[in-house]
A and B are shown apart, each in its own frame.
Chain A
């Protein structure tokens, strides 16, 4: 059974710092990995999707990497801003006919202090 772990559970940084969020998964046979952002009491916003054959994806100040063999992904946020404050969730999708189920980590709650 796939398990996803995110470390740290919470992180507080001053504005302008670069930071890294970590995600690890137990079954390396994944189809893809997706990073989401969740604001308090809200739904999820998709940030980046990495296919199993890819090593990284970039969008603006965000860069996500994937090391499938070691079961790890990182989300790098450059020049953090107070608006980046949110919970960041990592989710993996395992292959299989008709398999769309995502396994989520519990998230990292990020606070960027002005």
Chain B
């Protein structure tokens, strides 16, 4: 299994600003994943972050809007840039361990 922590747990931000979300895992993992869950919707994968290489973004998500860092095998950050109210969501970090995906507690973001 894997234990994942995220910071902050929630935040309220003004439009046009940026927020960086941190994800820490209790073991070394090759890939880390960032998901978004918009109000009333299910989870959508934003990108996959590998250590030592550029993140891979899913259709509809771009690096300029959601830059990701992966400095080592236990840590990653996701930045939500130039925020608008449409970015209000829960952002979740996830890892895969032997085929099972584990999720962090999420970061609840409200953009005013």
Residues of A within 8 A of B (CB): 31-32, 34, 36, 41-46, 49, 51, 89, 91, 93, 100-102, 104-107
Chain A residues lying within 8 Å of B45, measured Cβ to Cβ, are 101-102
Which one, B33, B41, B102, B106, contacts A100 given CB within 8 A?
Answer: B33
Classify the secondary structure of A's interface with B: strand
Chain A residues lying within 8 Å of B103, measured Cβ to Cβ, are 36, 43-46
Q: How far is A102 from B103 in the complex, measured between Cα atoms in Å?
A: 12
Chain B, interface residues (CB within 8 Å), range: 20 to 34
**Please, which residue of chain A has its CB at the minimum distance from the CB of B2?**
A46
Count A-B pairs with CB separation below 8 Å.
52
Q: How far is A101 from B106 in the complex, measured between Cα atoms in Å?
A: 18
Q: Which of B12-20, B74-82, B92-100 contacts A (4 or more CB under 8 A)?
A: B92-100
Chain A residues lying within 8 Å of B42, measured Cβ to Cβ, are 89, 104-107
The 29 sampled A-B contact pairs (Cβ below 8 Å) are A31-B99, A34-B100, A36-B103, A41-B106, A42-B106, A43-B6, A43-B92, A43-B104, A46-B100, A46-B101, A46-B102, A46-B103, A49-B99, A51-B99, A89-B42, A91-B43, A91-B101, A93-B99, A93-B101, A100-B31, A100-B33, A100-B48, A100-B96, A100-B101, A101-B58, A102-B45, A105-B42, A106-B41, A107-B42
